[in-house]
Chain A
Amino acid sequence: MRLRSFFNGAVATAALACLATPSLAERLTVALSANVTLLDPAMTTTVGTDLSVISHLYTPLVIRGPDLKLQPALASSWEAVDDNTWRFKLRPDVKFANGEPLDAAAVKWNIDRILDPNQKAPVRAWLSAIKDVRVVDPTTVDLVTSSPYPSLPDQMSMIFFLPPVWSKSHNPAIEALGSGPYDLVEFKPGDRVVLKAKPNYTAGPKPAFDDVVFRVIPEDASRISALLVGEVDLISGVAPSELARIKNSGKFVVGAVPSTRMQFVKFNNLKAPFKDNPALRLALNYAVDKQAILDTLFEGYGSLNACQPLNESYFGFNPDLKPFPYDPAKAKELLAKAGYPNGLTIEFEVPLGRYLLGAEVSQAIAAQLEEVGVKTNLVEMEYGRWIDKFQNAGNVGSLSYLGQSWPTLNADGMLSLFETGNRYSYYENADFTRLIREARSTTDEKKRVEIYKKATESFCADPAHIVLFNQPTTYAFADRVKWTVRSDDWFRAVDVQLAK
């Protein structure tokens, strides 16, 4: 009896707490599946958590809208003045909350800070092509690169600027003094980040929510429960099989959008059996029933990749290529041609907790491969250990389940992941490598599209991996809000409106 009254008491306190908040302030609570580690925009490359929160606090030069198109932010316009120089015209009125101007000098200070080796900034790798930052006047800045860098404006959508003076006396890893639409109210690592809208923000669209709370909820089932009881308003990365249940349990909107992440089973083409064996590489591509996996495990969400590591949202996508059909007979034929008429056994490494349904998909693929005689030894490993083998030791397993995307949505970056000579490409296709290097030497978009067309054809003729599909970004949200879900990893509160 006493226990009962205690519970009632707890409920009553919770109800009181709700009443206490002024009803005018609209609050949006977002569930994140991973921890927000820090708020210093130079020190993190994690888009889904750290950079998404940072984007509410600080302003980039350009910003990518929900339609994935670049929009002006701090920069009102930008152009390539020559092959190696990008010029950004800045808005004159943007200031940090303490009155510090966000002008060309502040931009230069931030980029110099990122490029300074002593800063050990992880985002340095994104900007290492920048040779010099020139302040032309307070509202004009030139970024000079060592070689033509056509996708630099895309890259700059991920770079945010700190106030130079304030940063000297504060630790931007846990504090924030921004120029963006929100102020930092509370940052409790591992638990939540609380933001409050700036009353007088004019530098961009006015956010619909006065308070935004990011809550870290690592366990999938707990995240769904939190949505169902109304503790959070929106979640993403939901197992597709749970979407229908969430929808049926009341006032929720569920769905999926195609992401920019390409899933595939990477071959280690540098060692046997894949080295110098194109027939084997083709055989495996015919052996996997990708559509069946999408239809069942992904409940029909997601779309097949058309024989290239790009999809429609990437610049340089080749619309003429078609996915490999599922054809086990042809796969067996090619296996025999490859010298394995009786099949073979290879290891299949799966990094854990990284991809939607990663464990399920890799087991389904393993079962399908076994049907044509390719036996696999699945090895699930923690992502850190796998990436160590993949990038450092150079001895990744014959197969790995992997998903890759390139944040600037440009063929240049994405295809460079398969460029011969890169530590992580595990692919030797001289023709392909020559073509993507050729594309890099010009800023003429038409010419580059032509070259990428040839490069992707070359890739398709001798694929570096089992081409699979785009991982869908699944989502569910309470119907009191309306969320324009993005297909890249970013979350921005301005993409959410109150319903009605």
Chain B
Amino acid sequence: MARVILTRLLNAVLAIWGVVTIVFVAARLLGDPVLLMLPIGASDADVATLRASLGLDQSLGAQYVDFLRRVAVGDFGTSFQFQRPAMTVVLERLPDTMMLAMVALVLAVAFGLVGGFLAARFRGTLIEFVTMLVALIGQATPVFWLGLVFILIFAVQLRWLPTGGTGGVEHIILPALTLATFTSASVARLFRSSLIEVLSQDYIRTARAKGVSTLRLFLKHATPNAAMPVLTMVGILAGELLGGAVITETIFSWPGVGRVIVQAIETKDFSVVQAGAVVLAAIFIAVNLIVDLLYVTLDPRLRA
């Protein structure tokens, strides 16, 4: 067990190093930030001065070594755009990002499990057809379109909820629903097929033969086993909900990490792109580590 955890941790560190390196190279490919920082009309001398003072006149190798050394102690540099440590700029947005991702994850898993359960329980009926159709449509709807339609319906027409921004609980409902739609559809489809698979197995047949009621059979015997693949999926979903929230954040004016990274890409604010990508990757890796460990603890076969 300890060995498994150690290997996983080592792999996690390797993955973060890979992310750091890719993001360093990609950020350099983005081009020169100096011209964006200066107003149009700046002289060549102004450009050269600023470039030198940012260390951008050094060789790429030297910049990389310097960068790794500082990242190792948690220093991602100063964002020239925000005039503050890049890590601070990212971390101050993390609570909002995490909140949105978590609410969305809960909604997605809840809707997904209920939908998948209904479809499997009422297999071959209209209920299965409708739930699965809704799930397929959920997977086929571009998220920005859905978000705008939600705003038009629930904020503009019905006036139930605000159009965006942060504040009370009411602000998180629409963005979380928007973000959760695609994911809950995936969960529903996965849970349905894994329930059906479990139900065809021998021990369920035996239980059924013994006269265990259908509902009890579903809830007590089939669901815990069928939920295991969903648990694995949650790890992957966490990444989608964290990093894939850019569009939802934009539509609902949600001040998340995704938006600040996109803004940093546009302005070539390397340090924020680097800090942001590393933070998101680290969370993703941590979540998956936890899921792996949970899996080992929960799965009776693996425990034995």
Per the CB under 8 Å rule, do A and B touch in the complex?
yes
Interface residues of A (CB under 8 A from B): 7, 10-11, 13-14, 17, 35, 37-38, 40, 43, 45, 117-118, 120, 122-126, 128, 171, 173-174, 188-192, 215-219, 221-222, 225-226, 228-229, 231, 382-385, 387-388, 391-392, 404, 406, 413, 416-417, 422-424
Q: Which residue of B lies closest to A225 (CB)?
A: B163
Q: Which residue of A lies closest to B80 (CB)?
A: A120
A40/B266 contact (C-beta < 8 A), A14-B168, A222-B151, A392-B35 known? no
Q: Within the assembled complex, what's the spacing in Å between the Cα atoms of A473 and B29?
A: 35
B212 within 8 A of A: no
A225/B156 contact (C-beta < 8 A), A191-B255, A388-B31, A392-B32 known? yes
Convert B151-190 into 0s and 1s, putting 1 for each residue whose CB lies closer than 8 angstroms to a CB of A: 1100110011111111011100100000000000000000
CB-defined contacts of B37 to chain A, threshold 8 Å: 122
A sample of 23 cross-chain residue pairs with beta-carbon separation below 8 angstroms, ordered by A number, consists of: A7-B160, A10-B168, A13-B168, A14-B168, A37-B81, A37-B82, A38-B81, A40-B83, A43-B83, A122-B37, A124-B46, A171-B84, A173-B83, A188-B255, A189-B82, A190-B93, A191-B166, A218-B253, A225-B151, A226-B163, A229-B163, A231-B162, A404-B40
B50 within 8 A of A: yes
A128/B35 contact (C-beta < 8 A), A14-B170, A229-B163 known? no
Convert B62-83 into 0s and 1s, putting 1 for each residue whose CB lies closer than 8 angstroms to a CB of A: 0000000000000000001111
Give the distance to chain B from A49, nearest Cβ to Cβ, in Å.
Answer: 12
Q: Within the assembled complex, what's the spacing in Å between the Cα atoms of A406 and B255?
A: 31
Give the distance to chain B from A254, nearest Cβ to Cβ, in Å.
Answer: 17
Q: Within the assembled complex, what's the spacing in Å between the Cα atoms of A118 and B54?
A: 10
Q: Name the residue in B38, B46, B260 with the highest tally of chain A Cβ atoms < 10 Å from its Cβ.
A: B38
Q: Within the assembled complex, what's the spacing in Å between the Cα atoms of A40 and B155?
A: 35
Give the distance to chain A from B39, nearest Cβ to Cβ, in Å.
Answer: 4
Q: Within the assembled complex, what's the spacing in Å between the Cα atoms of A14 and B165?
A: 14
Q: Which residue of A lies closest to B49 (CB)?
A: A117
Q: Within the assembled complex, what's the spacing in Å between the Cα atoms of A122 and B155?
A: 40
B36 within 8 A of A: yes
Are A222 and B252 touching (Cβ within 8 A)? Answer: yes
17 more A-B residue pairs beyond the given contacts A37-B82, A217-B164, with a C-beta to C-beta distance below 8 A: A13-B170, A35-B259, A38-B81, A118-B53, A122-B37, A125-B46, A171-B83, A192-B165, A217-B253, A219-B251, A221-B148, A228-B156, A382-B266, A384-B265, A391-B35, A392-B32, A392-B35
Are B161 and A7 touching (Cβ within 8 A)? Answer: yes
Are A120 and B53 touching (Cβ within 8 A)? Answer: yes
